[in-house]
Structure 1
Amino acid sequence: MTWNSWFSHGAPTAGFTGGPSIVSRNNAVCNIYVRGGDNALWQKAFFNGAWHPWGRHNDGAVLASEPALGSMGPNHEHIFVRGTDGAVWSKAWNGAGGWSGWFSHAAPVAGLTGGPAIVSRNNTVCNIYVRGGDNALWQRAFFNGSWHPWGRHNDGAVLASEPALGSMGANHEHVFVRGTDGAVWSKAWNGAGGWSGWFSHGAPAGGMIGGPTIVSRNSGVCNIYVRGTDNALWQKAYFDGSWHAWGRHDDGAVLASEPALGSMGPSHEHVFVRGTDSAVWSKAWSLVPTVILHLKVLTNPTSFTVDQMVASMRDVYASRGINVAVGSRETLDLPLLTDVDVSTCIMGTTTAEQNQLFANRNGVGANHVVAYFVRSTNPPGNGCAAHPAGRPGCVVSSTSSSWTLGHEIGHVLGLPHVSPSDRLMMGNGTWNITNPPPDLIDTERATMDTSPLTVNI
């Protein structure tokens, strides 16, 4: 997995109040909405592969909160705000008819604090949640084609923030809030069992400013993001069936608002914030093809360090969009295998010494690759990618060039030798590569990408 760098979206000419809100109604469209400095609704849109300029909604609306956004299908999105009358108002867009007019949802009998939050778990249900004037959770639901009255969640919860909402499927939704103890709390609803009890997620070290935000990019992953008291982005993730520890994004970002979250597909999510320059900034995460490499060192290389070889491999692989992740590093005390017999070094054929060496796979996953750093091969060579079945890896000799590691792993991923001397897979020895860094071409990338040893993480 990888995060891209932060990107500035600027701001409306009127500036804006608070933080941004975003919605992606499908995997090709994303819209940023803000409450402008003039209290109008402003929008910036991504479509046809590019971001477009900020525009003002000249519909007469005067916003008293940041907008809350959602979608009930790939050609629908809706916007909910608090109006100057203290009520929740909404309008909707669809591909056939464009924008509707504004519609009032009134407010709970207790009133509301802050703005609304919404979630649409499928294309027929939409729920508005608010922090009531009594600090309880209140809800108004759309189902069976109509809106139903406001109702109070009489579960004893005392909210210290507006709710944040999400869904992990058509019959699931969850609500996250800041509690009076400064921690993030959540509860979930599903069609089979109704509402769960409240569950504490704790808080980042040092605490947080404001309330939580959440995104579920698919039915197995949920991420909580908050603005820490250090003004950094903090995250707590649910995957593989359990919640994991809070972590800090050490990317230098200084947040001036709570984050806004969205997803443009099951392997993508993005975070939008207000920066200290009063512009909207975002960064995005997506899965990337990755080779997970384990380093087993019998003898250290003489011309380049192991780290330099890994860096060279990463540079070349990254040129074709493939990441290299080091899974582990281990020193092996195997004096009888430091000069390893590789015989003819033909794929599918291995010697007894290769079989013995490649049995050392401590901490190595089934789809991971191991590089064994030895003093020499017999007969002499830079390395060898022949490996026993089910034990993918290569050997790299101590006298090899900085490109040998990437070259040999390329063989493990299915690449043959080629003639051009400016290519990583040239067959005349990696010391003889010309015009470095050497190249991988698109067809080689396709072969590497389809290898079972290239995993999307």
Structure 2
Amino acid sequence: MFWYKNLSHQSGGQMWQGPKQVGQKWQDFKHIFAGSDQVIYAIKNDGTLLMYKHVGQENGNFSWDGAPKQAGSGWESFKHVFGGTDGLIYAIEQDGTLFLYHNKKHAQFDAAWEAPKKVGNGWESFKHVFGGTDGLIYAIEQDGTLLLYYNKKHAQFDAAWEAPKKVGNGWEDFKHVFGGGSDGVVYAIRQDGTLCWYKNVQHANFGGRWEGPEQVGNGWAGFKHVFGGPNGIIYAVSTRCLNLHFKILTEPNFDRLEMVTAAREVFNRLLINIDIRSTEILDLPNLEQLDVGPCNKGILTNDIKTLFGNRRNVNPNEVVAYFVDSLLPSASNLIGCAVHPFNQPGFVLTKEQDNRWTLAHELGHVLGLRHPEENINKVRADLMEPKPAVINSSPYFEDKEKQTILSSNLIIQY
């Protein structure tokens, strides 16, 4: 899951932070939506409701309040589910019945539910439904009509509706539509991936006078789930993922998480999640000093063949990073090597590293990238420099490299 923040969300500008990967394994959820107080709710296909707290929300840090908490069950049949304010959740059944739920302990990152209340019917035909602030709900009909509803008693966990108002039309072709968290902001994603910004300047008075649309981004077509948080924050779950496993023969002298963060920084630009699927300690002392020969594609030493046969709990289209003491022959001074047997994708890193980009560099090799040709006029860092230690700023991919990566069968499409 990616985190974005529009620093100019109140004016419809394009001052963005992100994307930053802040979560993994979110692709399988049926519904995901934000509550208040850093809480994010997610519904599994079996109806289990999980509750997460993103304590790194403000700055996009990969930081969560422990493990998710199971907050309920039986949520699998809802057609639309979205958050209100102060622990409220609205849920629409397939037959159009609208229910209101209240989690009294959302602020304590816990679950204590009031009995749900039936607060409406006839909601089954809407294409998109999402919450605004302070009891407002937007609903888009199949013909693109945008309606605004106001629940005057939302703060009392009850329902007293104003008659809905038509506040727009032409909204039928959007792929995703969601509230921007405050100030009447609404975001809408076109089928071509264009991200549009709207602002209802009369939302506080239950009106519908709009500023926008303003185009504030592109490339948003590939997301499975997109939803808004507070203060210009947007969460988006990509359909692209690379699964990575760690197999450790020698514990490295560097922070593995720092290298993973660096790799995510690079690959997230292609909307690729890097998910760490497992970590395993291997007791293979004879391979801790690993003979990789010349480390050239197609030349496999017996050490490489033996080591890469250790793929327990790893699928064929998943990558393994092996951590060893050193690589032989020692005269080569190698600190990483991505030569691997057919259908056993992976790479090796030594315990001593002099740059945070080495893991991303070797991962690039596994995905089919080569070292770049010499170019004295190079104006930006290339991830595939033969010596990653020379990279002193966040590297980029060239266009041909992007095409190679995205065509790899190791990039899983959900």
TM range (shorter): 0.3 to 0.5
More helix by share: 2
More strand by share: 1
Instruction: Give the number of the structure whose alpha-carbon radius of gyration is greater.
Output: 1
